[in-house]
Structure 1
Amino acid sequence: PIVVGDVVISAVGVEDSPVDASDGFVRGFDVRTGALVWEFNPIPPERIHETGAANVWSTLSADVERGLVFLPTTSPSSDFYGGPRNFPIPYGTATVALDAATGEVVWHFQTVHHDIFDFDLPGHPLIATIRKDGRERDVAIQQTKAGYLFVFDVETGEPVWPIEERPVPQSDVPGEQTAPTQPFPTGPEPFTLTELTREDLYGLTPIDRAWCRRRFDELRYEGEFTPQSVGGTLHFPGHSGGGNWGGAAFDPVTNQVIIKSLTIATVHHLIPNPDGGLTPMPEPDGTVPGSSFRTGLGDPMPGTPYYSARENFMSPLGVPCTPPPWGTLTAIDMDSGEIQWQIPWGRVRRYGITFPRFLEWGTSIIGGPITTAGGLVFMAASMDKRMRALDIRTGEELWSARLPYAGMAVPMSYMADGKQYVVIAAGGNRRTYTTEGDALVA
């Protein structure tokens, strides 16, 4: 939750595979009594029996002086097939600014129309004062899984950089009606690779690379926002990629946004399920269907005629077919919108084999950075169990320390007895195939 004035504001987690998922209510409570003050439902009232979700699973942010709270919402249900919801849902996968006292919408912007890509907004909008074109502007900066930053005037929602509606590939799945266009910001520049070509594909050996190319040729891929298909679609950036869990950071001294990214594609199949229910699907290890992300046998989507099957685009050696670095940390100047520096994040040790120490190609990332007044960036988030400190102006690593478990979280900093400390929850995460544990490290 977040507190703005006399109101405590909280969102909810929702299972977003079933069509009839719970609606993604955000509620405001009296800070003294706990009484409900207001509630906001992102689903249009006339559609609440046809779809759900569009909730906020990430964190909220606020402009306390203006009395605004900002919601990074998710896709409506079901998240990978939108046949039952072929109607406008303006607050789905959108940045929504509410009056914190009343819950009324002040402005909103939808970053993905008719989201069938699970492109939930994965981090809170950064509320910052940037320097652009010779003047200061109060803005909300929204990161996306697609690798873009959308920058809005904090009061009006007016884009700071123009946003273009561009044609995107259309679905060939019966019952699906893909959005004809999607919004693309003209700045800042993307913080991750956003398109793949056959020549880009990587392999640890020539045989490995040839396998990736052959698989690429078998899949449907027409660039960004290529929709799911029964025959198989390559999704890049993947739904776990771009700027995902953990958010970004802004440094007012250097006027930079610091953001991490994961550059791994996913393969999606829609598997026909005429009954539209929870018919069992076999998994190779006998586990619950969809419980193993690695197998790619996917999830049932109750209320739709399909299962959603997905897996990372990996070679037979267990190495991503996308080119390294697979995890990065990037600094973007908020005046020019240009990347100032970008570095691989973490050392690869567990993508099927152990790489030499000098090959810093980045790893899967869950977590995010913080910046400090001392001109430093702190982040863990990688598979190699290390916390790192960087020079914010150059990206140079100043030191690193090994954690007992991977720090898949955002650190925080505090002062005690004249010393500055950095603390992080280190617990690993199954999505990065790291050992799970329970430690708090300062």
Structure 2
Amino acid sequence: MTPGLLIAAPASGTGKTTVMLGLLAAFRERGLQVQPFKNGPDYIDPAFHRAASGRESFNLDSWAMPGAMLDGMLVAAEGADMVLAEGSMGLFDGVAAPGATGNGASADLAARMGWPVVLVIDASGQAQTAAAVAQGLARFRPGVTVAGVILNRIASPRHEALIRTGMEEAGLPVLGVLPKRAAIAMPERHLGLVQAEEQPALQSLIAEAAQLMREGVDLDALIAAARTTAGSAPPARITPPGQRIALARDAAFSFVYPHLLHGWRAAGAEVLPFSPLNDEAPDPTADTCWLPGGYPELHGPTLANADRFRTGLQTFAENRPVHGECGGYMAMGEAIVDKDGTRHRMAGLLGLVTSFEKRKMHLGYRLATLAQPIPGHSADRLLRGHEFHYSTILDQPDAPLAQVTDATGAKVAETGSTRLQRGGGLSTGTFFHLIASA
């Protein structure tokens, strides 16, 4: 199998993503094919990975994905020279209750795949103590190997010397030293990083990150440190929602997990993209329509005036299934209220009214037992997914789609919605994004 490394850290905000992008681009400049992965349900980072590496990046999630599915995802690395996987939060951070394979921590992947960990340490505000933190991480869990550290945000040569002394005492190699450089900080907004396709200076940002890695990181040492113990496994079969799938794809509907699209196509389905923002209707020859998540609340006026899209979607839904996730679910409703309190008309397939004016964060894994079928999954099926949004529900008159709990088993109020249309078509939607069936 392809050797790999896991880029991880003690906590969020250490610079993992910058390091990951810079390494992907730097190795690519050397002529290496590097397969990226992302631990956990984050849907922003993989698009940045793709831009830096030239290869599709896939999420690996030990809470949501069965072991066979995790192992089968490694088929994406065929033909690659090495794997780089980006961790999430701190190395051992996950949910309290185990899921399909683990609790979602980055360390689960390191242990299962045999990938040594490269720790990105934010050294600002500390010196030798950074080594104590790194040493604690290296000893915390048997089966997780720390290959070394990349020191980030180093203030001066003296600062570097002090930390190097501590790392030597801890027995941890220093694989790189990076200075403070605010120019490559990622822009943010209400749901985290701005998406890759919305970043106008993306390629220059990636080029600067790559230069930083070339100057400050021992790339040869990283290549030499890559390992794996994972064996080959066939990819898990993913049931597509239809044979011909009309898929909304634009800045308002930008998110669907890459492994799902890959699985749909591998099963022989045809994906037919259309853009609601360009007032396009779903392909009338499709047998199902899927509205992914995204940011419809940022495009309220455009969607409200997209008459061709709305009429075409309503006609489609009369006798065929339509499913929406998060932003797509919101767009299927009666209206969205934006942050300024302005109400914008939506498709009206469901009675849902949501508001971004009344903000409340909803975040976490979701386990759902379907009361009604959705495209690709029958009633009573158990699904694992993830929810992250700030919109609140003002009105939800339709029947609940599922019984939903969080990772601890606590009931979640956002059950999704279902409505049978006059011609027999079933419209369904959830706030959680599907990752895998349980």
The two structures have a TM-score, normalised by structure 1, of 0.26
Q: Which structure features the higher share of helix residues?
A: 2
Higher relative contact order (CA 8 A, sep 6+): 2
The two structures have a TM-score, normalised by structure 2, of 0.26
Structure with the greater alpha carbon radius of gyration: 2
